[in-house]
Amino acid sequence: MLTLQPYLTLAAIVFGIGVMGIIINRKNIIILLMCTELLLLAVNFNFIAFSYFNQDITGQIFVFFILTVAAAEAAIGLAILVVLYRNKNSIDVQKLQTLRE
Amino acid sequence: MYELSLIALITPLIVGLLAGFVGSRINKSFTHWMTTLGIFISFAISCWILIEIFLNPGLLLNQNIYEWMSIAGFNFKAGILVDNLTASMMVVVTFISLMVHIYSIGYMRDDPGYHRFFCYISLFTFAMLLLVISNNLLQLFFGWEGVGLMSYLLIGFWYKKESAIKANFKAFIINRVGDMGLILGIAVIFSVIGSLDYQMIFDSSTELVNTKITIINDYSVSGITLACLLLFIGAMGKSAQMPLHVWLPDSMEGPTPISALIHAATMVTAGVYMVARMSPLFELSSMALSVVLIVGATTAICSGLLGIVQFDIKRIIAYSTISQLGYMIVAAGVSAYSASIFHLMTHAFFKSLLFLAAGSVIIALHHEQDIRKMGGLRQYMPITYIAALIGSLSLIGFPGFAGFFSKDALIEAVAHSSNLGSEFAYYCVLIGVVITALYTFRFLFVVFHGDSRYKGDNQIKESSWVILIPLILLSIPSIIIAWPTLGILVFGDFFSNSIQQMSSYELFGYKYQSPLNFLIHAFSGPVIYLSLIGIITAWVCYIKMPHFPEKISNKFAIIYKVLVNKYYFDYFYEKVVAKNTTKLGLVFWNFGDIKIIDDFLVNGTAIRIQKLSTISKKLQSGYIYHYALMMVIGLSLFLAWIIIN
Amino acid sequence: MSFIEIIFYVFASILVLTSLGVILFKNPVYSAISLIVSFITSAALWLLLQAEFLAIVLILVYVGAVMVLFLFVVMMLNIDDVMRTSKFNKMAPFALFIGLIVVAELITLIWFRSDQFSMVPVSTGVLDSGVSNTVLLGTTLFTDYLYLFEIAGFILLLAIIVSISLTMRRREGLKRQIVSEQVNIDQTKRMKLVDLKNERN
């Protein structure tokens, strides 16, 4: 049987990849949203692992809700993206600078 | 007696403040009546206290009024000490102050700063009374500084005159140099004994003797010598001993009444008073006494010489004051404190008389002060002439006058002393007698005798009665005050509970019987004859052969030049001390203040904040990934912290 | 090496590789497809952890709905020019470094501070009780967490409203029916009696 640690390590690695993706991404916003999905996936992993190892169903319930919210958030994020594209005609992250000092 | 002495102390303060703040709104009459009345009350109370002390010998009041401050176990109290010495000083101070108040009514009549003047002299009287009436060194210092301040304000009374401003700076700064010594002396006493109260200091003075204070690595002095020397430096500053004497001639820039009050009778005697008051301490240190002696003797003779070559009427009398102060200090140096205080009292009377007479002359000639432009005033101003004559005779020690007794007693004590330096001092004071007579009668002959050289267009007439009455009132003590008081004050033990000194026979080598006896005894000493030599010389030089002085000054041109330049003291102070200090101050200002504090600290802080904010402005780039990076960096720091803990 | 372990490592490596692919591919369509593959492999891993319901839901909902939506949007937007211009990212090494630090710290925490949680499954728990995962999930969801369940529903409703209201465009010049105005009509606005003069003299 596997111990808990490989699962958590795996989740940590995926989380790290997601974070790096957000930072080094300069091409387009869709990648940004996909990296957000990756982060959420890593967190879900953690919950499921703990739920299995503590024999507590609460972890899976939480994942349930996280999935719900993630879906809603993806939808809204894409809607915003569409409107952004309509206004700026591009989805380059580097052009989104209007809030600068 | 406690409440009365408090009233005597506070009344000048109250009337002074009233005159200053309210007097200008009411009128001149109110101001001068009120202040004169206040000082008169003080004078009456002082006389009453003195009479009480005469009637009840051994009466002494040493009481603390309130506790001023209590720090770390040290209690500083404000208190009153009224003993024989204090009472005598109080009478002298208030009497002279009263005379000056009355005199100023006439002298300052047309001056626009009338009310301010009366306010200042009343406040000065308060400060001087505070000085003599205190029972601890801290309060003495307070009064010391107070008289210094009022002296500054009064010397620069005509503040629009540039020479007056320079003079008052000079007075204050040189006083400050002396005060530094005083503060250090007080500090030494405080650090060794732990209290500033007179009684406690005198009781534990042996502690000071036994304490050795190290100055530099291997060189140490006894605590008492150090304390006495430092205290004496303070006295040098206040009582215009050499080399700190240069402020007093320049202080003649102030109005004549204050020259009489402050720089003849009261403030400059504060130093002598302090030395007398600290006599138990000075007695324990023979080295300090020798220093005192030598400084006083040098001052007496050197400033006397300067008095011969002055042409300003007030400056002659100023140098005379310095010389006489030297005499008083010499008396203190040979441990004859009672003679010193006695000479202080008589000097107060006749010197202020001389100053006021000079003021009368100045006013009558419409502010002319050069004696070369005066002459033959005897016929126009007879009363002033007689007053000046009485003052001069007293000053030179003409037999029978008050000054004679005090000066003679003093010289006897010097002759009989065995302190180190007393022989030098003896010769100095003897020569000083000749010189005193010389310059005094030069002053008298040139101003009042001979032909009138006044070129002004106004008629010279005698001054008003307001000016003459103080002259008359001061002439009386100048003549007679010594007769009743000589025996008790000088040779008796009147001051025995205030001053510590040896018995009079040891001190003076003369068994005292009566003033007349003393007078006759004095004819066997050299003093009277020396003063006679001086008078004759002056007569020869200035009446018989008026061109003689000029010939002498041409012959001894170098000496004359040195004397006219006042031994180059002023030159030295100005060119060396003041110039370098100013340079140092400029360095501090330019570099220290402007560069470091203004540019580096104040402006620099603003500039650095601005630069920092310019850099940190770049954090707000508007890019999401920069913000995400910041968040991640924060996250990593937080995780690191969790790991470490 | 038991069978489970082999399965785990295989799927784990695929997961890591595909998530790397999400961020490294230039073509966004390729990134989306990598993400889909990573979801599928993670579903497989969840099956290992006896979370069957959620594994399937992951595939159905996430992959089937959300990723499809992503692909719709990717293909809808004209992003050819973005693909071609890709300058070298100056921040990349530093960001990589920071990311590695974060991962390293997390791993340190997991491997060296693991005294607070059990490393092996608790012997018998509710997950092994014989009831299927779906039933278990359902019972706790509708009893203990009912309130949260309702709120989740509202969140989805919110998502719908937001999406529509953000992206709906009104085209100019279209004639539509505005029902509220039709109903609130007044007689005077529809009919007007006009008095015409007779044309005969």
Predicted confidence (pLDDT) per residue in B362-390, tens digit: 888 877 788 877 877 888 888 888 889 99
Q: Which residues of B352-382 are buried (b: 16+ CB within 10 A; e: fewer)?
A: bbbbbbbbbbbbbbeebbebebbbbbbebbe
Closest chain A residue to C147 measured between Cα atoms?
A65
Interface test with A, best of C3, C7, C23 (most A CBs within 10 A): C23
CB B38 within 8 A of CB B12: yes
- Residue C82 pLDDT > 60, yes or no? no
Q: Chain A interface, mutation test: which of C139, C166, C171, most A Cβ atoms within 10 Å?
A: C166
Chain B CB contacts of A101 below 8 Å = 617-618, 620-622
Asked if residue C99 is part of any domain, the answer here is no
Q: What is the 3-state secondary structure (H, E, C) of B403-452?
A: HHHHHHHHHHHHHHCCCCCHHHHHHHHHHHHHHHHHHHHHHHHHHHCCCC
Phi, psi dihedral angles at B467 (to 5 degrees): -85, -30
Determine the residue of chain A that is closest to C56 in CA distance: A64
Structural contact between residues B61 and B5, judged by C-beta atoms closer than 8 angstroms: yes
Q: Is residue C184 part of a domain?
A: no
* ipTM value: 0.90
Per mean pLDDT, which range of B18-32, B273-287, B288-302 is the poorest? B18-32
Residue C77 maps to a domain: yes
Chain A neighbors of B628, CB-CB under 8 A: 19, 22-23
Instruction: Using a CB–CB cutoff of 8 Å, tell me whether B632 touches chain A.
Output: yes
Comparing CA positions, the residue from B167, B175, B169 lying closest to residue B147 is B175
- The correct answer on CATH 1.10.287.3510 for the domain covering A4-95 is yes
Residues of C in contact with B629 (CB under 8 A): 91, 94-95, 98
Confidence of residue B182 (pLDDT cuts 50, 70, 90): very high
Q: Does C109 touch chain B (CB under 8 A)?
A: yes
User: Pick from A19, A26, A94: which is nearest to B632 by CB?
Assistant: A19
The sign of the CA dihedral B214, B218, B224, B225 is: negative
The average pLDDT across B382-400 equals: 88
Neighbours of chain A (3+ CB pairs under 8 A): B, C
Instruction: Identify the closest residue of chain C to A9 by CA–CA distance.
Output: C107
SS3 C14: helix
What are the phi and psi torsion angles at B67 (to 5°)? -90, 125
Give the pLDDT band of residue C126 (cuts 50, 70, 90): low
Could you give the percent of chain B with pLDDT greater than 90? 5
- Cβ-defined contacts of B510-514 (< 8 Å, 24+): B510/B412, B510/B416, B512/B487, B514/B487
For residue C79, the chain A residues in CB contact (below 8 A) are: 28, 91
Q: Which residues of B touch A32 (CB under 8 A)?
A: 624
Q: Tell me the average pLDDT across B622-635.
A: 84
Contact by Cβ (8 Å): C48, C7: yes
Range in B259-263, B308-312, B541-545, B607-611 with the lowest mean pLDDT: B541-545
Query: Is the bond leading into B382 cis (omega within 30 degrees of zero)?
Result: no
Q: Nearest-CA residue of chain B relative to A98?
A: B622
pTM of the complete model: 0.68
- Strand B74-82 relative to strand B61-71: parallel, antiparallel, unpaired? antiparallel
A29 to chain C, any CB pair closer than 8 A? The answer is: no
Signed CA dihedral, B473, B478, B480, B485: sign only: positive
Q: Between vectors from CA B275 to CA B43 and to CA B149, what angle results, nearest 5°?
A: 60
Residue B255 · residue B112 · CB < 8 Å = no
At residue C124, the pLDDT reads: 56
Give yes or no for residue B218 having a pLDDT over 90: no
Half-sphere exposure of C34 (CA within 13 A, CB side): 22
**Rounded Cα–Cα distance for residues B7 and B135 (Å):** 17
Share of residues in chain B with pLDDT > 70 (%) = 95
Residue B2's pLDDT band (boundaries 50, 70, 90)? confident
Q: What is the pLDDT of residues B78-120, one digit of tens each?
A: 888 888 888 888 898 999 999 888 888 888 888 888 888 889 9
What average pLDDT does chain A have?
87
Determine the residue of chain A that is closest to B615 in CA distance: A101
In angstroms, the CA B444 to CA B390 distance is 11
**In A1-101, where does DSSP find H-type helix?**
4-24, 29-54, 58-88
Contact A72 C8 (CB under 8 A): no
Q: Is B643 on the interface with C (CB under 8 A)?
A: yes
Residues of chain A with Cβ-Cβ distance to B634 below 8 Å are: none
Query: Which is higher by pLDDT, C123 or B4?
Result: B4
Q: Which residues of B touch A100 (CB under 8 A)?
A: 620-623
Q: Subunits that touch chain C (at least 3 Cβ pairs < 8 angstroms)?
A: A, B
Q: A-chain residues within 8 Å CB-CB of C124?
A: 55
- Average per-residue pLDDT for chain B: 83
B217 pLDDT exceeds 70?
no
B639: chain C residues, CB-CB within 8 Å: 102, 105-106, 109
What number of other Cβ atoms are within 10 A of residue B428's Cβ? Answer: 24
Q: Determine the Cα–Cα distance for residues B470 and B384; give it in Å rounded to an integer.
A: 11
Q: 3-state DSSP call for residue B118?
A: helix
Residues of A in contact with C23 (CB under 8 A): 17, 20-21, 24-25, 31, 35
The pLDDT of residue C58? 94
Chains touching B (at least 3 CB pairs under 8 A) are: A, C
Lowest mean pLDDT of B19-28, B590-599, C64-73, C86-95, name the range.
C86-95
The minimum CA-CA distance between B642 and chain C, rounded to whole Å, is 8
Mean pLDDT value of segment B14-31: 83
Q: Which residue of B has its CA nearest to C113?
A: B643
* pLDDT confidence of residue B507: 66
Of residues B618, B621, B625, nearest to A22 (C-beta) = B625
pLDDT band at B311 (very low <50, low <70, confident <90, very high): confident
Q: How far is A101 from chain C (nearest CA, A)?
A: 20
Question: Contacts of residue A21 in chain B, CB cutoff 8 Å?
Answer: none
Name the strand (E) or helix (H) holding B61. strand B61-71
Between C7 and B495, the higher pLDDT residue? C7
Mean pLDDT of chain C: 84
Q: Do residues A88 and A95 lie in contact, with contact meaning Cβ atoms separated by under 8 Å?
A: yes
Q: What is the mean pLDDT of residues B288-298?
A: 89
In one letter, which amino acid is B279? Answer: S
Residue C37 lies in a domain: yes
Q: What span, in angstroms and rounded, lies between the C-alpha atoms of B308 and B316?
A: 7
Q: Which residues have a Cβ under 8 Å from the Cβ of B237 and sit 6 or more positions away?
A: B174, B175, B176, B177, B178, B179, B181, B182, B244, B271
- Distance, in Å, from the CA atom of B352 to the CA atom of B184, rounded to the nearest integer, reads 32
Q: Which are the contacts of A24, defined by CB distance < 8 A and separation ≥ 6?
A: B625, C23, C89, C91, C92, C95, C96
* Interface mutation target, options B639, B641, B644, chain C, most CBs of C under 10 Å: B639
Q: What is the pLDDT of residue B506?
A: 65
User: Residues near B383 by Cβ (< 8 Å), separated by ≥ 6?
Assistant: B462, B468, B471, B472
Give the range of the structural domain holding residue C52, as residue numbers without chain letter: 1-84
Structural domain tally of chain C?
2
C8 shares a domain with C73:
yes
Q: Is the dihedral of CA B233, B236, B239, B245 positive or negative?
A: negative
Q: Which of C98, C106, C109 sits opposite B632 (nearest CB)?
A: C98
C1 and C55 within one domain: yes
Q: Is residue C38 part of a domain?
A: yes
pLDDT tens profile B464-496: 888 888 888 888 888 888 777 777 777 766 777
| Coil/strand/helix, residue B298 | helix
Residue B285: the pLDDT is 82
Q: Is the pLDDT of residue B236 over 60?
A: yes
Residue B81 is predicted with a pLDDT of: 86
Provide the 3-class DSSP secondary structure of residue B147: helix
- For residue B617, CA distances in Å to A23, A85, A94, B104, B612 come to 20, 29, 18, 73, 8
> Within 10 A of C166 (CB to CB), how many other CB atoms are there?
15
Are C99 and B632 in contact (CB < 8 Å)? yes
In this complex, the residue of C51, C114, C162 whose CB is nearest that of residue A76 is C162
Instruction: Choose the mutation target among C1, C5, C19 for the interface with A, i.e. most A CBs under 10 Å.
Output: C19
- A62 to chain B, minimum CA–CA distance in Å? 23
B616 touching chain A per CB within 8 A: no
Contact B624 A93 (CB under 8 A): yes
Per-residue pLDDT reduced to its tens digit, B121-161: 999 999 999 999 888 888 899 999 999 898 899 888 888 88
CB contact (8 A) between residue C109 and residue B639 = yes
B625, A25: Cβ pair inside 8 Å? yes
Q: What pLDDT is recorded for position C85?
A: 54
Among the three residues C84, C111, C143, which one is the final residue of a domain in this structure?
Answer: C84
Secondary structure of residue B81 in the 3-state scheme: strand
A22/B622 Cβ within 8 A: no
Q: What is the pLDDT of residues C140-150, one digit of tens each?
A: 889 889 999 99
What pLDDT, on the 0 to 100 scale, is given for residue B458? Answer: 65
Give the residue-averaged pLDDT of A61-77: 93
pLDDT in tens, A18-37: 988 888 877 778 888 999 99
Interval B566-584 mean pLDDT = 80
Of chain C, the percentage scoring pLDDT greater than 70 comes to 85
Pick the closest to residue B359 from B263, B453, B217 (CA basis).
Answer: B263
What is the Cα–Cα distance from B328 to B628, expressed in whole angstroms?
89
The answer to the question of residue C91 being in a domain is no
Residue A85: how many other CB atoms lie within 10 Å: 17
CB contact under 8 A, C108 and B643: yes
Per the model's pLDDT, the better-predicted residue between C90 and C26 turns out to be C26
- Smallest CA–CA distance from C52 into chain A, residue: A60
In tens, the pLDDT along C169-190 reads 777 777 778 888 888 888 787 8
- What would the mean pLDDT of B43-55 be, rounded to a whole number? 87
pLDDT of B202 > 90? The answer is: no
Q: Report if residue C45 sits inside a domain.
A: yes
CATH number assigned to the domain comprising residue C56: 1.20.120.1200
Inter-chain contact B623–A22, Cβ cutoff 8 Å?
Answer: no
CA distances from B106 to B28, B34, B360 (A): 11, 15, 10
Can you tell me the distance from the alpha carbon of A27 to that of B292, in angstroms, rounded to the nearest whole number?
96
Q: What are the Cα distances from residue B98, in Å, to B472, B525, C7, C141?
A: 13, 37, 119, 108
d(CA A98, nearest CA chain B) in Å: 6
**Residue B443, token pair as written in the block:** 């002053």
Across the interface, do C128 and A13 touch by the CB < 8 Å criterion? Answer: no
Q: What digits encode the pLDDT tens for the residues B550-565?
A: 777 777 777 777 777 7
C-beta atoms of A97 and B621 within 8 A? yes
What is the pLDDT, as a whole number, of residue C120? Answer: 61
Inter-chain CB pairs, A–C, below 8 Å: 234
Residue C43 near residue C58, CB atoms below 8 Å:
yes
